[in-house]
Amino acid sequence: MDIDADQLLTFLVVAEQGSLTAASRILYRSQPAISERLQKLSTQVGEPLYRREGRGIRLTAAGAALLEPARKLRAALEDTAQTIVRRRRLQNDDLRIAATPTLAHYFLPVLVATFQKHHARVRVHLKSDITDRRQIAVGDWDLLFFDGGFDRDHLPPYYTVRPWRDEPIVCVVGPQHPLLRLPEVDWPDALRFPVIWRDDGPGVREALAAELAARGLAAPFLLEVGGVDAVGAAVAAGAGIGFVAKSVLAQRPDWQVKPLILPGTEALHWTLYVAAPEPSYQSAGVRSFLALLSEETSSQAAF
């Protein structure tokens, strides 16, 4: 028996939406056209797939039994479409990179500039404002850079995730902060002052919270800001102490903040990750950029 895939996918939309009216809006088809497809599918099955109930529908046992096969069919078709798109992109000269804000602003520009010196014909697209997976269609991007708190559950099946680098985290205070006058500073000394927390994703915040929990400490929660630049500005203004990635601090002498040495901070770090398609889905540009990342990681490990 030949099953019409369009009929089965139409049924799936109706079942998920709970009504022909809602399905009509999504599928851009008239309700009579949808009813016709469902009737043909019901005829093939040999029994009704749903019953009308008020303004919606209720699936019969036969209809419920078709849900999982229909979802598998949709997933297979979506995967096939992505495969075709990815294979076509192997032939073009574009490299599409998406990253969380701090990585895009402070970690990737140097890598992109180095890459372009050797691949001048490749057009690089860098999307720099994602904070969670729902903001992007992941399959539309070749490489995705993020920290440990990013939702990886819905990456396409042909993507693999690996650590990219471990970035040291530094405690910073304002240039006239009283802690700078102490010969030694321990965590309880520092935590007499409010910690400036970030609200744009876990990253450094998650690493700091884990360190404090391991020490049995809690930080005063008085100020939350929207990004690493706001942390630097708040610390410089004397609003509290902050924790930022060492590489970010090195690029921002204009913040006018000072690093503060705390015991154990040499082990405090922020793990960054890259998600990339498997080799058979990689364009020449993706392979070259990943090779550049490997070189950078190797050079860091040497120090």
Taking only the tens place, the pLDDT of each residue in 152-187 is 666 777 788 888 888 899 999 999 999 999 989 999
Q: What is the CATH number of domain 92-165+271-301?
A: 3.40.190.10
Output the pLDDT for position 31.
87
Given this chain, do its domains 5-88 and 92-165+271-301 carry the same CATH topology?
Answer: no
Distance between CA atoms of residues 50 and 34, nearest Å: 13
Structure token pair of residue 4:
């019409």
Give the domain ranges of the chain.
5-88, 92-165+271-301, 167-270
For range 105-123, the mean pLDDT: 90
Output the pLDDT for position 303.
34
Q: Is a pLDDT exceeding 80 seen at residue 64?
A: yes
Structure token pair of residue 66:
């078709």
Q: Which residue has the higher pLDDT, 69 or 267?
A: 69
**Residue 40 per-residue DSSP state:** H
Asked if residue 234 lies in contact with residue 189, where contact means CB atoms within 8 angstroms, the answer is: no
Asked if residue 165 lies in contact with residue 300, where contact means CB atoms within 8 angstroms, the answer is: yes
If one counts every other C-beta atom within 10 angstroms of the C-beta of residue 191, the result is 17
Does 3.40.190.290 match the CATH number of domain 167-270?
Answer: yes
Q: What is the CATH number of domain 5-88?
A: 1.10.10.10
**Residues in CB range of 83: below 8 A, 6 or more apart:** 158, 281
For range 117-141, the mean pLDDT: 72
The answer, as to whether pTM is greater than 0.75, is no
Output the pLDDT for position 302.
41
Q: What is the dihedral of CA 15, 20, 24, 29, to 10 degrees?
A: 100
Each residue of 208-246: pLDDT tens digit? 888 888 889 887 677 888 888 999 999 999 999 999 999
